[in-house]
Amino acid sequence: MKSVAFHNLGCKVNSYEMDVMQQFLQKRGYEIVSFEQKADIYIINTCTVTNMADRKSRQMIHRAKKQNPDAIVVAVGCYVQTASERIEEDDCIDLAIGNNRKKDIVAIVEEFLARRRDASGGEGGVGALDKTLSGTTVLDIAKEQEYEEMQMETTAEHTRAYIKVQDGCNQFCSYCVIPYARGRVRSRKPEHVVEEVRALAKAGYKEVVLTGIHLSSYGLDFRGEAYNVTQSSDLLELIEKVHEVEGICRIRLGSLEPRIVTEEFAKRLSGMPKICPHFHLSLQSGCDSVLVRMNRRYTCAEFAEGVRILREYFEHPAITTDVITGFPGETEEEFAQTVDFLEKIKFFEMHVFPYSRREGTVAANMPDQLTEKVKKERSARLLEMDREHSRAYREYYIGRNLQVLVEQKQMIEGREYYVGHTPDYVKVAVLSAEDIINREVCCLATDMLCEDTVFAQKN
């Protein structure tokens, strides 16, 4: 039996795909071991969203080969799609698999193993093997029109499961390479999504998170243009089908396009009790002129209107976002506009990123690239604001009853607690004499246990 070790970089979609690939190999009889162990095969599911992600992908590839020089090192995913020349030049990579061949991981690995056995007796040796099996394992992702069907059976978590329902992006933001790594929009058939949700519910999962590369484009045709607000009906119909699955008590949504939030969208969502009032609307900048340079296709006023609508239909919803600081040409005045906008919205949480120059994107060639010092200073200011707003959001619940879906035991400041999340994703720690993992319990929030965790007493 050959041993296989996995390492994942990047987003929740990547994590989902890695879990499925791992299940495929495990079913075939391969032994899954820790990445830190010596393995026969190392599979690195790569990321390419920034230059740093590329570097981390290469580092993990090289670490694998260093751990066992005789192992087969397999590079999979986004970095493979966008760095073909580097892949060919990297002696640490034995096999390369692109984003639309992950479902075939078992067949590809076994074909490579067979060719390796044949080559080992020949004059060229193992080094003569073709990394892409004559170009069949890395396809032109821009031409892919069909969703790559993969289905999850279980995950490392036992309460919450992420479900990929969509792939690709047609947005082409000026700073982003993902459309080149993931291709154009492809959507999963609703019946396949529902089938997976039912299987997960049967396995005991209580919560599902619907996710994708650009979730709001679910249902958009491959040839379609960038997100059109009319597409929200396709996503809503999918959510309604998932809502009907017995055994699932919570449905959480991945990152949403701000323009998807209309009166109809919010009204229909609010009519589904299982929907978690936790919405991630990716902002990137609170300044209209910067949004134009980013090619984000909405204004700050439109974004604010979406937030207003959500707060009208949901009581105290958790609204989170992403913000990029130090985008090329961002002046002090433009940054000040972003600060003012963020103070106005008061997000539950913000993921703050200093702009990272990514080769192959329009923004990489824009004039007036800012210094790392300026980007770091602006990031620090926004992170401090994030801490203040996040704490205020959590403190709102002190003295209130909460529904907590308990996920695990965790040591906090030397004491063991049962830890889970509320529907709006507030982390809560509970003391309990009985095992309450994977149960939804009613608690009274009494205090802040630490910066990001509320302490609650079970009712």
Same domain for 127 and 254, yes or no, is no
CATH number for the domain harbouring residue 61: 3.40.50.12160
Check if the beta carbon of residue 77 is closer than 8 Å to that of residue 102.
Answer: yes
Q: Token digits for 9? A: 């970089």
Report for 169-173, 381-385, 455-459: range of highest mean pLDDT: 381-385
**Distance between CA atoms of residues 226 and 220, nearest Å:** 9
Domain span at residue 111 reads 3-139
Q: Where are the beta strands (DSSP E) in 34-71?
A: 41-46
pLDDT confidence band for 125 (50 / 70 / 90): very low
More reliable by pLDDT, 51 or 175: 175
210-241 confidence digits (pLDDT tens) = 999 999 999 986 556 666 655 678 999 999 99
- Domain count of the fold of the chain: 3
The predicted model gives 145-172 an average pLDDT of 89
58-101 confidence digits (pLDDT tens) = 999 999 999 999 999 999 999 999 998 899 999 999 999 999 99
CATH number for the domain harbouring residue 436: 2.40.50
For residue 157, give Cα distances in angstroms to 249, 362, 406, 420. Answer: 16, 38, 11, 12
If you write DSSP's letter for every residue of 230-296 in order, what string do you get?
GGHHHHHHHHHHHHT-TT--EEEE--B-GGG--HHHHHHHHT-TTB-SEEEB--B-S-HHHHHHHT-
Average pLDDT, the chain: 93
Q: Which of 119, 139, 159 is the last residue of a domain?
A: 139
Nearest Cα residue to 345 out of 287, 280, 286: 286
Check if the beta carbon of residue 449 is closer than 8 Å to that of residue 430.
Answer: no
Same domain for 369 and 443, yes or no, is no
Angle at 252 between CA 247 and CA 254, to 5 degrees: 140
Same domain for 235 and 344, yes or no, is yes
Same domain for 147 and 222, yes or no, is yes
Q: Which of 354, 369, 395 is the last residue of a domain?
A: 395
pLDDT confidence band for 126 (50 / 70 / 90): very low
Same domain for 432 and 340, yes or no, is no
Same domain for 406 and 321, yes or no, is no
pLDDT score of 154 more than 80 = no
**Distance between CA atoms of residues 113 and 119, nearest Å:** 10
Phi, psi of 298 (to 5 degrees): -145, 165
pLDDT confidence band for 130 (50 / 70 / 90): confident
For residue 322, give Cα distances in angstroms to 175, 257, 285, 432. Answer: 14, 12, 8, 36
Same domain for 76 and 218, yes or no, is no
Same domain for 202 and 117, yes or no, is no
pLDDT score of 124 more than 70 = no
Same domain for 415 and 383, yes or no, is no
Same domain for 189 and 279, yes or no, is yes
The predicted model gives 174-180 an average pLDDT of 95
Q: How many helices (H) and strands (E) does the chain have?
A: 13, 17
pLDDT score of 379 more than 70 = yes
Same domain for 407 and 385, yes or no, is no
Q: Token digits for 441? A: 């319990």
**Distance between CA atoms of residues 240 and 193, nearest Å:** 12
Same domain for 246 and 262, yes or no, is yes
pLDDT score of 122 more than 70 = no
Q: Which of 139, 167, 190 is the last residue of a domain?
A: 139
